[in-house]
Structure formats: C-alpha cells, structure tokens
C-alpha cells in the first residue's frame, strides 16, 4: 500500500496549531538555536541560552578582565558553588544547604560512594543495574580497586532483579533515575524506601532527569544524588556537575578527596586537613568559575517555569512523535526501545535499527540533530523549553524520506566519528 505521509499536510497543520496553543512556546526565544537546525539532542548537550552568552562575556571581560583576583570577593566567585547548588536544589526538590555545584558526575560519584561505604561500614556491596551509564559503573569499579574486593564489591544486576537483590549485605544502591538509553524511569520513592528498609544507602544519578521532569529528593527521603549541568540545564559543554547530600547525613559524611577548597579554612593554609561543615566539604579544588557562571545564568531560564508543565509538554511531544511514527509506518522499521507508557518514560525516545548510526548521520546531514547510542539505538530528545511540535513533525518527515529512499545507505553516513 502506498504511503502518502509526506503528501498529507494535515500533520504539519496540527503541529502548528499545537505550537500556537503552547503556553511554554515563548521560552524558545531564551535560546540561540540556529534557524537551519532542528535540535533534538538537548539531553546530551543543551543549546546556548542568551543569558549565558551575556554572562560569559561579562565574567570574562568585566570580572576576570578588569577586577582580576579581587573578583573572588568582589563578585563573590568563592560562593558560586553553593549559590548555583541551591539554585539547582529548587529543581530537584531539595531544601537549601544540601546541593553544591562542583566537579563532574564521575568525580562526585566517587566521593559519594566512598562516603556511603564509610557510613555503612561492615557492608561491602555496591549494587547497581547492568545497563547503568558506564561512568557510574566504572567509578564503582575504581573504588573497588582502591578498597580491595574483600571490602568493596560491585554487583550489577538486571533491572527486574534490583528489588530482590536488596539484602542486608548491600551497602549502597546506586541507580540512574532515567535510563540514558531507553529513557525508562525508576520509581525513586519506592526503591529508596525499599532499600532503606534494609539499611541500604541510596545514590540517584539525575543526569537525564534534572530540568526535564519534577524531582522530589527531600520528599523521597533520598540519601545522596548527583546530576549534570550540561544536559537539560543547558550549562554548556563540560560545565560542572552537582551533588546532593541529605541534611541528616552531613555531620557523619566524609568524602575522601581532601581538597583545600573543602577545608574548614582554606586560607589558613594549615598542613592538616579539617573538613568544612555542610556541603562545602564536598568541594575539592578551585571551582571552574567561567563555566559555572555560564551554568548559573543558564539556570535563570527556569525561573518561574513550572516543571509539571514542562513534563506535560514533554509527554505531549513524545506522544506526537509516536503518533507520526505510526502514521508513516516507520514504527515497522524502527522499533521503539523506550517504554510505551509515557508515565514511566523520561524526555526521550529510543528506537533500535541495525543501521541506526547511519540513519542518525543522514538526519544530521539534513539539519535534524539527534544522537546514536551503541549498539543500535537512535535517540531523540525533547526539551519543552524550546522544542516545537513542528520540530517533531519535521524530524519524522525527514526520517521518513531517509528510510524510504534508503538515503542512509550512502557511504558517507557509515563513517564512525569519535563522538556519537
Ligand atoms: C551524561 C551522564 C554522565 C556524565 O558524567 P560526567 O562525569 O559528568 O561526564 C554520568 N551519568 C549519566 C547517567 C549520564 O547520563
């Protein structure tokens, strides 16, 4: 049966109608998004917020450029990690004084894993999911190599084995809230409670949830968490991450990377380390002021934005995408690897196809930016702050052409770059 998907302009009309009715649509003007690109990869690297560009110029030219070292006090660079931390705290349901912006997720995980193992001394297992993001697994392997396998053992289980693996010898449960490949969401409250009922401490990685879906760390009684600044928070490539330590753990908490910025009195230059109080002890070395300032400005885009509305639009965008996949019959070629139920799915859709890499490259060549995750997944991210329903339509119609004409089979789309 011939498929007239691209001939039928009803879908484009619907998309434009949805955009016209969208109460978040004005937020798109907060970003610099190239007019010739459809950007569906904000879950990997958020685009440039206009506020961030202004702030970068100001910090470089006015602060660093003119006030030099006095900026640490004059522009309060020294407290930037706590200020940015508390700003992120508002997006993750954390009261003040529990979130700090510093280092990368990887480094922060090492700090949290070590500190948690120390609190739960006598238990040796770190439990995680086989499909967790590799760096999360690697950091636990690294800690195991430092502590020795008889003191620290990483156990990776399948998703459906997590609950039944929560035994009394598990010290820490470390999970990523939204699966980076499939977008499947874990039930944070239920798993946290279940683990804690066995005396297990819980670390949540919020890389693919912060800024995209409402999170309630305090309400869920979470112990520890980490998250990224450069994905849905739009803080720019490689900007610092954040970590959360629940207030109730902060006196007992001790992370092992004794950096001078985490010292009680860094400028006493004492030879003996003494941890600062509260979240300040999570710091290691000098904060990356340039990129943290950019993140700080990027976070202001969220001021007054209701994350429930963001979530609703994200679901609507992904449901529209799935409808178009079905209408175009593309759902027969690209198999959905994400949960069908939007309630348990983050702000992305993943589709598997043996030539997913080439399809992704062909889309990029046409200005539709999404990404590929090995071994065979095409990943499409929806960021309600700037993604339009029209973008969804354009992406699917582009995908339709590429697949129908087998355009992706051209040799230039088969070449693998370093970053996918
Ligand atoms: C992106 C991502 C990271 C990145 O870690 P960095 O150390 O900040 O580079 C970690 N975990 C998950 C789940 C991610 O998606």
> pTM for this one?
0.97
pLDDT in tens, 289-335: 999 999 999 999 999 999 999 999 999 999 999 999 999 999 999 99
Protein residue with its CA nearest to atom 1 in ligand 1 = 207
Q: Is 106 a pocket residue for ligand 1 (Cβ < 6 Å)?
A: yes
Place of tokens 């990483």: 154
Mutate to test the pocket of ligand 1, among 207, 208, 225, 381 (most ligand atoms within 8 A of CB): 207
Nearest-10 Cα torsion for 383, 388, 389, 394: -100
Residues 40-68, mean pLDDT to the nearest whole number: 98
307 three-state secondary structure: helix
Nearest-10 Cα torsion for 35, 39, 42, 47: -20
Task: Provide the pLDDT confidence category of residue 169 given band limits of 50, 70 and 90.
Answer: very high
Question: What phi and psi, each to the nearest 5 degrees, are found at residue 251?
Answer: -75, -40
Contact 278, 97 (CB under 8 A): yes
Residue 182 Cα to ligand 1 midpoint, Å, equals: 15
Neighbours of 35 (CB within 10 A): 5
Active site residues: 133, 205, 230-231, 379
The pLDDT, as a whole number, for residue 1 is 37
Task: Provide the pLDDT confidence category of residue 2 given band limits of 50, 70 and 90.
Answer: very low
The pLDDT, as a whole number, for residue 373 is 92
Protein residue with its CA nearest to atom 5 in ligand 1 = 105
Distance, in Å, from the CA atom of 325 to the CA atom of 312, rounded to the nearest integer, reads 20
Protein residue with its CA nearest to atom 4 in ligand 1 = 105
Element (H, E) at 250: none
Strands 335-336 and 368-369: unpaired
Q: Tell me: pLDDT of 172 over 80.
A: yes
Question: What phi and psi, each to the nearest 5 degrees, are found at residue 182?
Answer: -85, -20
Neighbours of 286 (CB within 10 A): 13
| Ligand 1 atom index nearest CA of 109 | 7
Place of tokens 């609507």: 316
Residue 185 Cα to ligand 1 midpoint, Å, equals: 16
Q: Is 208 a pocket residue for ligand 1 (Cβ < 6 Å)?
A: yes
Residue 104 Cα to ligand 1 midpoint, Å, equals: 8
Place of tokens 């970003």: 31
């Amino acid at each position: 049966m011939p498929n007239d998907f691209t001939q039928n302009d009803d879908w484009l009309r619907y998309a434009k109608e949805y955009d016209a009715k969208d109460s978040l649509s004005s937020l798109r003007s907060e970003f610099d998004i190239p007019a010739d690109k459809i950007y569906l990869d904000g879950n990997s690297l958020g685009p440039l917020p206009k506020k961030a560009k202004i702030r970068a110029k100001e910090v470089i030219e006015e602060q660093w450029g003119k006030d030099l070292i006095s900026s640490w006090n004059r522009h309060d660079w020294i407290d930037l990690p706590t200020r940015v931390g508390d700003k992120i705290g508002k997006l993750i349901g954390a009261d003040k004084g529990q979130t700090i912006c510093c280092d990368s997720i990887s480094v922060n995980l090492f700090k949290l894993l070590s500190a948690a193992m120390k609190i739960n001394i006598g238990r040796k297992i770190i439990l995680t999911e086989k499909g967790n993001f590799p760096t999360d697994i690697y950091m636990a392997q690294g800690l195991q190599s430092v502590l020795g396998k008889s003191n620290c053992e990483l156990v990776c289980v399948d998703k459906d084995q997590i609950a039944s693996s929560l035994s009394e010898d598990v010290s820490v449960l470390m999970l990523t809230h939204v699966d980076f490949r499939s977008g499947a969401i874990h039930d944070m409250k239920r798993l946290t409670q279940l683990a804690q009922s066995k005396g297990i401490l819980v670390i949540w990685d919020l890389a693919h949830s912060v800024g995209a879906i409402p999170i309630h760390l305090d309400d869920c009684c979470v112990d520890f968490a980490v998250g990224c600044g450069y994905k849905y928070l739009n803080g720019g490539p490689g900007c610092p991450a954040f970590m959360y330590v629940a207030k109730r753990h902060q006196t007992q908490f001790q992370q092992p990377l004794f950096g001078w910025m985490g010292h009680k009195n860094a400028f006493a230059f004492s030879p003996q380390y003494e941890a600062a109080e509260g979240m300040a002890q999570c710091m290691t070395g000098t904060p990356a002021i340039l990129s943290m300032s950019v993140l700080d400005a990027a976070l202001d885009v969220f001021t007054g934005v209701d994350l429930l509305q963001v979530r609703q639009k994200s679901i609507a965008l992904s449901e529209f995408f799935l409808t178009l996949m079905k209408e175009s019959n593309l759902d027969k070629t690209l198999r959905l690897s994400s949960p069908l139920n939007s309630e348990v799915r983050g702000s992305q859709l993943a589709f598997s196809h043996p030539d997913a890499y080439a399809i992704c490259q062909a889309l990029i060549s046409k200005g539709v930016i999404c990404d590929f995750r090995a071994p065979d997944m095409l990943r499409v991210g929806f960021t309600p702050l700037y993604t339009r329903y029209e973008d969804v339509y354009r992406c699917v119609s582009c995908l339709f052409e590429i697949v129908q004409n087998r355009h992706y089979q051209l040799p230039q789309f088969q070449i693998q770059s370093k970053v996918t």
